[in-house]
């Protein structure tokens, strides 16, 4: 008994051009569950072609780290968080 059934005529799928995705685009950024001692920083990196802007969502990857560990161990993270927090009053005023 065979599990193979011939297809007539055969199905042909045309070859596709190779594509290069040379940068990551941050498609999601979240800071959640913030207290004075805990919290989470999560973001999604999606491959993107820097010339065409085409993204490859099927290869997106997520990263989640403890917020305060990131702030204490990565100086740029501390600066970025401070900048965002400092801007919140102006953002709120501008959009409300």
Q: Which structural domain range is residue 85 located in?
A: 23-95
Instruction: Count up the domains in the chain and report the number.
Output: 1
Residue 28 falls inside a structural domain: yes
Per-residue model confidence as pLDDT tens digits over 41-69:
999 999 999 999 999 999 999 999 999 99
CA atoms within 13 A on the CB side of 51: 4
Q: Which of 2-6, 12-16, 55-59 has the highest mean pLDDT?
A: 55-59
Element (H, E) at 23: strand 23-32
* 47 strand-pairing partners: 24
Residue 27 falls inside a structural domain: yes
Q: What is the pLDDT of residue 1?
A: 56
Residue 74 falls inside a structural domain: yes
42, two tokens: 């999560």
Residues 40, 70 contacting (CB under 8 angstroms): no
Residue 11 falls inside a structural domain: no
């Amino acid at each position: 008994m065979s599990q193979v059934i011939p297809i007539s005529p055969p199905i042909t799928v045309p070859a596709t051009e190779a594509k290069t995705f040379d940068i990551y685009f941050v498609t999601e950024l979240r800071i959640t569950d913030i207290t004075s001692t805990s919290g989470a920083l999560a973001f999604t990196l999606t491959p993107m072609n820097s010339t065409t802007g085409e993204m490859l969502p099927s290869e997106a990857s997520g990263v989640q780290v403890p917020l305060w560990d990131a702030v204490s161990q990565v100086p740029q993270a501390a600066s970025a968080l401070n900048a965002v927090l400092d801007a919140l009053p102006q953002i709120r005023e501008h959009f409300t």
